[in-house]
A and B are shown apart, each in its own frame.
Chain A
Amino acid sequence: MTLQPVIVETRGVSRRFPGVVALSKVDFTLRRGEIHALMGENGAGKSTLIKLLTGVEKPDEGEILLEGQRVSFRNPHEAQEHGISTVYQEVNLCTNLSVAENMFIGREPRRWGRIDWPQVYARAEQALARLDVSVDVRQPLGDCSVAIQQLVAIARALDISAKVLILDEPTASLDANEVETLFKLLRRLRDEGLAIIFITHFLDQVYAISDRITVLRQGELIGSYATAELSRLALVSHMIGKALDDLDLLQERKAEQEATSDDAAVLEAQGLGKRGTIEPFDLRLQPGQVLGLAGLLGSGRTELARLLFGIDSADQGQVRVQGQALEIGSPAASLRAGIAMCPENRRLDGIIPDLSVRENIVLALQVSRGWLRTLGYAEQVALAERFIELLNIKTSDPEQPVKQLSGGNQQKVILARWLAINPQVLILDEPTRGIDIGAKTEIQKLVLELAGEGRSVLFISSELEEVLRCSHRIAVLRDRQKVAELDGRTATEAQLMQVMAERSEHDIAYS
């Protein structure tokens, strides 16, 4: 294959935000007529790189070349004029306007100072016909399926300028057929010479569509590879940052307690699922067991936990707690049954920022007692002080507003809130994200201690090392499906990665 000319290139671009280096000296090359997948976990720097290319942000150092010319876009509009367009995951069009209006909003063809509607409609139809989309361009965009809306967004982007098209998670809300339609279109556009940057969390799609893959990790360029020459396993290990050779390193063994597999399940999900969110799955948690949940970002880990706890309502299947069916879609019912969930997003779903450490800690316990059976003030202070000491929470005083604490200490306060109700099952979604090493180890230790007391924990983490260290069993998710369950005492990171990366056809249920 002859190499196509380079259209966009970054040389050593860096971007720093207060306290973080979002992107560090990254070289990136995009050629005409290729579909280039940009891969990386959360915080890898994918979106920062896109923002630099589209003029949303400016690089602190390094340069961006467009067709060999040094460019510095002041805003996305300027980037667009130079031929770089972006279609975001959340289609940012106006669903209440017509298809044609959406395509020409802000750049309507005019005649005598007034919008030339016949031309708007004709050009909209033309642009869509080029993509083999036939819709009534006069109907409101909101009446079209999400897939069509996505295509309209692409048509708009192409109509504005057609050198580089950036697609940020374009398939997140599409079903399999719609994805195939989109891919057909992308291949055709590629063959016509368009350069496409494609960002997704679905590995299968990366291999189905991309020609080259660039992997970023923690703001650094790991490498660019031809898709055909990069195995899935290698890709995943590049993304997560573990060299395959290191993987047979010793595993820290779990505490001695062993969950015997014939124990009755304390929590059991059967065929639980929700369309478009996660495929039906079975899950069993036994007393004293830590069940790890592994999978790449977007594989459905959080979605699974939310269904289990009832934040989202499952549309099929059931959950049993100690044999009793649990009301679907009710966190309050889950809590009454002894299930607690510590959500992934501490700031949005966890802390009550203005309330004090004491109030944050007693909240769930107070709710479980009912608002009339109030905990006395002295009791509350005693409880708060006990957990402040137990979890080593650094706060000046139980009355300090929790928003003034550091991230790790906030996380501990939320953990204390759940520990205070003495749950049978604790679901922890990324409990150690964004906190320092010391706090991290303490939380991992706590998980094992809870299991030692006969409690069950569902432990979700994107750090495989941590999952392996804490879990007795590990369920693996991929592309919103539970694909395997491994024995946490014998599993290795290599094994885990392999399952996370494998193609769906080759699923094997490990046990």
Chain B
Amino acid sequence: MTSLTAKPGAVWARVRVGNLTWAILALLLILGFNFFFTPGFFTIQVRDGHLFGSLIDILTFGASLMILAIGMTLVIGTGGVDLSVGPVAAISGAVAASLIGGASDASQTPLWLAVSAALLVAGLCGAWNGVLVAWAGIQPIIATLILMVAGRGIAQLITKGQILTIYYEPYHFIGGGFLVIPFSIFIVAAVYTVVALLTRRTALGLLIEAIGNNASASRYSGIDQRLVKLLVYTISGLCAGVAGIIISSNVRSADGNNAGLWFELDAILAVAIGGTALSGGRFSLVGSLIGALIIQSLVTTIYSFGVAPEVTLVVKAVVVCIVSLLQSARFRALFRGASQPQGG
């Protein structure tokens, strides 16, 4: 497991604190289930120098969720929540698509410029959330609800109400290309590395956890909470932007209405499964990545197992419920016969 903290002891402390054990266990259970019941689940084939297989699919289709979960982790760490990531992803895809245009051989705008513009807009959306939360003092759930509702409208305004189809091949590479493994995995790795460096190599992570765990004490310690919050919502917006580009690139189109639909809820779920408390404080980026993988492997499992589509959501709900119960210290205590007092 990667972690950027220096000392092995500290890494282990994080694993314990972040409740990573239970998330890893849940992931292994799901994979183990497939090992016995889904033939060929672990088969990885090499075709044209690319890797193929269910496991690779999980990574590919889970990429956008993992990136959203990374941004969401920081927001939740401060005790907030960002409900607007799905719509912001749709906005980002719409910006990129409208700048690239519908031609197959050439893009209207240089690819780097289209991607930068999409990220810029997404970052601004995040910053808007941050300003509402930190300066206007609106509760995060309400502040981000504004963009959650308005975002899909904005995305449709950008695409003029159409589903824009993108035929430009280089754009498709972002979400659908391969460098032996899917290119989107490299993007996840890059986003994780940047955010992990930003939070663990600087003091940002400490400040986020301090604010989320005890806002009043943080104020006595001189932390400028507004700047930290602005920063985390902006990062969450940027992550949504990256995810939006991957989604639109993967399906070769920008659909203001449906791109990233309900992803904000999956992202929150991934963070929760990953062991970060929704009340804020200690957060674990690795945990959120595992949480996203659990959700994605679950979906893939359900599909490859041939469960009827109408039952899919129920199965998903049941598994999520089990994982959440495993996470709960109080629930686990029931099975130790006595309730374990929580320190302090």
CB of B76, distance to nearest CB on chain A (Å): 14
**Known: A331-B220, A377-B7. Is A363-B13 also a contact (CB below 8 A)?**
no
What 0/1 readout, one digit per residue, does chain B (194-223) give for beta carbons within 8 Å of chain A? 000000011110110110011011111111
- Tell me which residues from 172 to 187 in chain B have a Cβ below 8 Å from any Cβ of chain A: none
* Interface band, chain B: 20 to 34
Cα A367 to Cα B6 with chains together (Å): 20
B10 and A371 contact, CB distance less than 8 A: no
Contact A354 B216, beta carbon cutoff 8 Å: no
Q: Is the interface of A mostly helix, strand, loop or mixed?
A: helix
Which of A348, A367, A403 has the most chain B CB within a 10 Å cutoff? Answer: A367
**How many contacts A-B (CB < 8 Å)?**
99
Among B204-244, those with CB < 8 Å from A are 204, 206-207, 209-210, 213-214, 216-224, 228
| B343 pairs with A404, CB closer than 8 A | yes
Proximity string of chain A (336-353) to chain B, C-beta cutoff 8 Å, 1 when within and 0 when not: 100001010000111111
Enumerate chain B residues within 8 angstroms of A359, measured Cβ to Cβ. Answer: 206, 209-210
Q: Which of B9, B209, B214 has the most CB of A within 10 A?
A: B214
B252 interfacial contact with A, CB 8 Å = no
State whether A343 and B223 are in contact (beta carbons under 8 Å apart), knowing that A352-B210, A363-B210, A374-B201 are contacts in the complex.
no
Residue B282, interface by CB 8 Å: yes
Residue of A at shortest CB range from B282? A354
> Which residues of A lie under 8 Å from residue B260 when comparing CB positions?
none
> Which of A332, A351, A356, A378 contacts B6 (CB under 8 A)?
A378
With a cutoff of 8 Å between Cβ atoms, the chain B residues found around residue A331 in the complex are 219-222
Complex: chain A residue closest to B343, CB-CB: A404
What is the CB-to-nearest-CB distance from B4 to chain A, in angstroms, rounded to a whole number? 10
Note all chain B residues with C-beta closer than 8 A to A377: 5-7, 10
For residue A363, which residues in chain B have a CB less than 8 angstroms away from its CB?
206, 210, 221
* CB-defined contacts of B46 to chain A, threshold 8 Å: none
| Bound CA–CA A331/B218 (angstroms) | 10
Partner of A367, one of B213, B221, B343: B221
Q: Is B344 an interface residue, CB under 8 A from the partner?
A: yes
A and B contact pairs by CB, cutoff 8 A, 7 listed: A352-B210, A352-B218, A354-B209, A354-B213, A363-B210, A378-B6, A403-B343
With A348-B214, A372-B202 given, can you name 17 additional A-B contacts, CB distance below 8 Å?
A309-B220, A311-B220, A331-B219, A335-B222, A352-B217, A353-B344, A354-B17, A355-B209, A355-B282, A359-B206, A362-B206, A367-B222, A367-B223, A374-B203, A375-B203, A401-B344, A403-B344
The 4 closest A-B pairs by CB, nearest first: A403-B344, A335-B222, A404-B343, A371-B203
Mark B residues whose CB is within 8 Å of A: 5-7, 9-10, 13, 17, 201-204, 206-207, 209-210, 213-214, 216-224, 228, 281-282, 343-344
Which chain A residues have a beta carbon within 8 Å of chain B's beta carbons? 309, 311, 331-332, 334-336, 341, 343, 348-356, 359, 362-364, 366-369, 371-372, 374-378, 381, 399, 401, 403-404, 417
